Amino acid sequence: MKNEQPRRTTIHDVAKAAGVSIATVSKALNNNGRMQPETRDRIKRAAAELGFRPNALARGLLSKRSFTVGLLTNDTYGRFSLPMMAGVSEALVDHGVSVFLCATNDDPALTHLHIEALLDKQVDGIVFSATRLDRRPHMDLSSLPIPVVYVFAEGPPGSVVIIPDDYQGARIAVQHLIDKGRKRIAHITGPDDYRAVRVRAEAYRDLCGGDEPVLFGEWEESWGHQAVDLLWSRDQAPPDALFCGNDQIARGAIDALRDRNIAIPEDVSVVGFDNWEIVAEQTRPSLTTIDMGMKELGRQAGLAVLTLSKGQSMSGGTRKLPCSLVVRQSS
Amino acid sequence: MKNEQPRRTTIHDVAKAAGVSIATVSKALNNNGRMQPETRDRIKRAAAELGFRPNALARGLLSKRSFTVGLLTNDTYGRFSLPMMAGVSEALVDHGVSVFLCATNDDPALTHLHIEALLDKQVDGIVFSATRLDRRPHMDLSSLPIPVVYVFAEGPPGSVVIIPDDYQGARIAVQHLIDKGRKRIAHITGPDDYRAVRVRAEAYRDLCGGDEPVLFGEWEESWGHQAVDLLWSRDQAPPDALFCGNDQIARGAIDALRDRNIAIPEDVSVVGFDNWEIVAEQTRPSLTTIDMGMKELGRQAGLAVLTLSKGQSMSGGTRKLPCSLVVRQSS
DNA sequence: TTGAAAGCGCTAACAG
DNA sequence: CTGTTAGCGCTTTCAA
C-alpha cells in the first residue's frame, strides 16, 4: 500500500489561475463583498476546475469555529445508541458539521482522555449520551468552555436535556389496550431503580388504578416468562392484557403464554416497549410496541448543540420527545 | 442556557507568565531543542497552572496532520458496527487521534457529502465499514488523497482490508461438534448471495463431506424453525447436530426442537454464529456460538489507518482475523 | 540558551 | 472593484 501525498490546491493556486489576489478569491467564493459578476464567475470556475476545497483547519483557526462536535457515549453494544448517533450525524452533516465519536466505555480516565482530545481539536460543542436516562457523566462537563447537550442521559440543572417521554409512551400503550376493550391489564417491567421504569409504572397506574400489581424484575426474557407464571397461578382471574417494560420481557411473556395455550391477541393482548425491530418482528405473533424515536432524539440533540455553538441562546431544561405506538399482531 | 466564551489560554499567555518568548515555550513543551532544565520546568509549570492546551487546528495547519480520521458506515441499526466503531475509537484515542463518525445511510449523495466534509477537515485517513463483507462503497475512495482502510467490507485490489476469518470460524464450530462425537451435522444458513455464507458452507463441507445438505434461507428465526421441520420430516435419520449461520437462525431452530421435545444438547447439539450476546445468552439452553471479534477488527483497522497516515507503508491485501468459539449450554 | 521572524491557509480590515 | 496587509496559534529555521 503506497501512500502518495500530492500537495492540495490552495487558495493561492486558484488566485494564480484566475489572475487575481487571494483576497479576491476568498470573497468570490464566499459570496462576500462586491465585485464584478464576471470576475466572480471566472474565479469560481477556476476553483471548480482545480477542485479547490478550503482548508477547514485554517478557516477554523480564524473563525474560532471548527464545525465539529464531539459525541460521548458509553454504549458499545446497545441497540439504542446507534440510531441516535446516526440522527446526530445526519442533522449536522447538512450544516457542514462533522461529529467525533468517542466511546468512553464507562471508564472515567478514558472519558477524560477523549474530552481533552476534543477540546484540543476545538470542537464547537459536545453531545453526551448514555445507556440509561438516569446515568450521569463520570465527569463534570458543565464547566467546559463549550456547550454540552445531554441526550438519553441526565444533565446538571439548567442544562439542555433531550429524552423520550416515557410517561406519554406508557400512556399510549395502556390506552391502546383499554381501547381494545381490555379490563385487567398487568404491567411487567424492569428494575425499579431505573427512573424510566418508575415513570412508566406511574403512567400505568394513573390509567389503570391499583387493581393489578406492577411486577418489577429484570430486563430479561426469563423474567417475562416467570412473571406470567406468577400472574396465572394466583387465585383471581388472570389478566387479559400485558404491558411489558421492554420487548425482551414481552417476548418471554409471549412464549410463556403460548406454553399455556393462551391465544394472542384473542385471550390476552401484549404490548412491549422499545420497538426493537429485530425482536418485535420475529416474535410470533409479531409485537405491538412503543417506539422512542431514538433517531429523532439524536437529530434534536445535534440541532441543539449547533444552536448553542453559534452562541445563540436556547432555553435549558428537559425536553421530552413523544413516543409512538407501532401496532403489530400481538394486540 | 447561557453561553460564555472565555478566551482560551494560548501559547502567548504561557510565554508571558514564564517570562520567555513563545518559541521557547513551544520547544519546552514539545521537549525539542536545547535549553536549561530549569527554564523548561518553569515553563511547564506555568503551562500547567494556566491549563494550557495547544490548539490542534493551528498545529495541524502547520504539520499537515490533523490527528483525525473519518469512519464511514452504512449501518444504523446493526449490532456489529457498534463494537467495531468502539474498537476504532479506542485504538486511536491513545494516539491522540479522534474519529469522525459518518452515517451514510447507504445514500450515495450523503456519502459524498460526508467525504467532502472529511476532506475539508483534513482527516489523515478514512476507515470504511459496511454491514456485510461483500458490500463495496458507493463511491470510488481509492483516488482520495488520503489512505483508506476497509473493515468488514470489500475494497479495491491492493487496498488494506480487514475481515473476520469466516472459514476458520465455521471450521472451529464444526470441529467442536465433531469433537462432541456428533456424526450427522446439518448446516442451516442465510442467503447464498452473501459471500460469508458461501465461505462458511465451504468450511462445513470440507469437514463433513456432502452427506448432509446445506440449507440456504433467510437470516430469520422463522427460517431456523422451518429448516428443522424440513430436516425432521425426511425419511432418513435426523441430524444429531446443527451448525447455524447466525444466532437468530439458531434460536429459531432451538425453538423448533423444543416443540418436538428433542433434548438440547443431549439429542441434538446446536452452534450459532455471531455471538450476539443478548440473544445467545437468553436462548434456553444458552447458545454456543462463534464470536467474530468485531472490536478487535475495529482496533486493527484503526491502527492500520494510523500507520498509513504517518506515511509509513504497509502491505495491502485482505487480512483475516480469527474467530473464537464461545461455549455455552447448547452443545 | 533564547528570541525574532517567517509562514501554514484562510478571512477581514483597510487602501488604492 | 480589487489588492495589500495583518493576524488566527503554532512550529521551525536562523540570528543573536
Which of the pair, B5 or B79, is modelled with greater confidence?
B79
The residues of the protein lying within 7 Å (CB) of strand C read A 7-8, 10-12, 22-23, 26-27, 29-30, 32-33, 52-55, 58-59, 61-63; B 19-24, 27, 33-36, 39-40, 58, 61-62
pLDDT of A110 > 60? The answer is yes
d(CA A218, CA A275): 18
Q: How far is the CA of B141 from the C1' of C12 (A)?
A: 36
C-alpha closest to that of A165 among A136, A203, A128: A203
The CA distance from A67 to the nearest CA of chain B, in Å, is 9
Closest to A206 measured CA to CA, from A185, A181, A179 = A185
Residue-level pLDDT at B116: 94
Question: Minimum mean pLDDT among A41-55, A123-137, A216-230: which range?
Answer: A123-137
Q: Contact A98/B100, CB-based, under 8 Å?
A: yes
Instruction: Assign A168 a pLDDT band (cuts: 50, 70, 90).
Output: very high
In this structure, of A2-16, A264-278, A297-311, B180-194, the range with the lowest mean pLDDT score is: A2-16
Instruction: List the one residue out of A318, A326, A302 whose CA is nearest residue A100.
Output: A302
Assess whether pLDDT exceeds 80 at residue A134: no
Say whether B79 and A81 touch across the interface (CB within 8 A). no
Q: Which helix (H) or strand (E) holds A99?
A: strand A98-103
* A5, pLDDT greater than 60: no
- On the question of pLDDT at B3 being above 60, the answer is no
| A239: number of Cβ within 10 Å | 23
B163: three-class secondary structure by DSSP: strand
Task: Render pLDDT for B112-168 as a digit per residue (tens, 0 to 9).
Answer: 999 999 999 999 999 999 877 667 666 788 889 999 999 999 889 899 999 999 999
For residues A292 and A164, is the Cβ–Cβ distance under 8 A?
Answer: yes
Could you say which residues from 233 to 262 on chain A have a Cβ atom under 8 Å away from some Cβ of chain B?
248
Which nucleotide C1' is nearest B43 CA? C2
**pLDDT exceeds 60 at position B5:** no
Helix (H) or strand (E) holding B47: helix B37-50
Whether the predicted pLDDT of B291 surpasses 90? yes
Q: Residue B276 class from Cβ within 10 Å (0-12 exposed, 13-18 middle, 19+ buried)?
A: buried
Q: Which range (A92-101, A133-142, B195-204) has the least confidence?
A: A133-142
CA distance A142 to A67: 20
Closest nt to A21 (CA→C1')?
A: D3
Cell readout for B281 is 445468552
DSSP B299: H
Long-range contacts of A83-86 (CB under 8 A, 24+ apart): A83/A294, A83/A295, A83/A298, A83/B76, A83/B77, A84/A129, A84/A151, A84/A152, A84/A294, A84/A295, A84/A297, A84/A298, A84/A301, A85/A129, A85/A298, A85/B101, A85/B103, A86/A295, A86/A298, A86/B76, A86/B103, A86/B105
DSSP state of B317: E
What is residue A238's predicted lDDT score, i.e. its pLDDT?
Answer: 94
Mean pLDDT of B247-259: 95
Interface of A with B in 179-218 (CB under 8 A): none
Q: How far apart are CA A50 and CA B20, in angstroms?
A: 44
Across the interface, of A89, A102, A314, the residue whose CB is closest to B1 is A314
pLDDT at B278 > cutoff 90? no
pLDDT of residue B77: 78
Interface contact flag, A8 B145, Cβ < 8 Å: yes
CB contact under 8 A, B98 and A100: yes
The DSSP bridge partners found for residue A243 are A187, A271
- For residues A66 and A16, the model is more confident at A66
Element (H, E) at A72: strand A68-73
Distance CA A25, CA A97 (A): 23
What proportion of chain A, given as a percentage, has pLDDT over 90?
Answer: 75
Q: What is the DSSP letter of A111?
A: H
Identity of the residue in A79, A96, A147 whose CB atom sits nearest the CB atom of B3? A147
pLDDT at residue A4, as a whole number:
47
Task: Select from B61, B94, B99 the Cβ nearest to the Cβ of A57.
Answer: B61
**With contact defined as beta carbons under 8 Å apart, do A284 and A263 qualify?**
no
Q: What is the pTM of this model?
A: 0.93
pLDDT band at A2 (very low <50, low <70, confident <90, very high): very low
Chain C nucleotides covered by protein, CB below 7 Å: 1-5, 7-14
- Mean pLDDT score, B220-248: 95
Burial B245-267 (b: 16+ CB within 10 A, else e): bbbbbbbbbbbbbeeeeeebbee
Which residue of chain A has the CA closest to B149? A1
Neighbour order of strands in the sheet with B269-271: B214-216, B185-189, B241-244, B269-271
**Residue length, chain A?**
331
Burial of A45-82, coded b for 16+ CB within 10 Å and e otherwise, reads: ebbeebebebbbbbbbbeeebbbbbbbbbbbbbbbbbb
* Residue A165 reports pLDDT greater than 90: yes
Instruction: List the one residue out of A131, A123, A23 whose CA is nearest residue A74.
Output: A131
Give the closest residue to D1 (Cα–C1′).
Answer: A35
Distance in Å from C10's C1' to B64's CA comes to 15
Task: Give the three-class secondary structure for A161.
Answer: strand
Task: Say what the pLDDT of residue A79 is.
Answer: 81
Q: What digits encode the pLDDT tens for the residues A171-215?
A: 999 999 999 999 999 999 999 999 999 999 999 999 998 778 899
- The grid coordinates listed for A57 are 483547519
Chain B CB contacts of A89 under 8 Å are: 101-103
**Nearest residue to A254 (alpha-carbon basis) of A212, A216, A286:** A286
How many CB pairs below 8 A link A and B?
182
A195 Cα to chain B: minimum distance (Å): 22
Confirm if B216 and B190 have CB atoms less than 8 A apart.
yes
Looking across all nucleic acid strands, the nucleotide with the smallest C1' to CA distance from residue B61 is: C8
Q: What is the pLDDT of residues B36-76, one digit of tens each?
A: 888 999 999 999 999 999 999 999 999 999 999 999 998 88
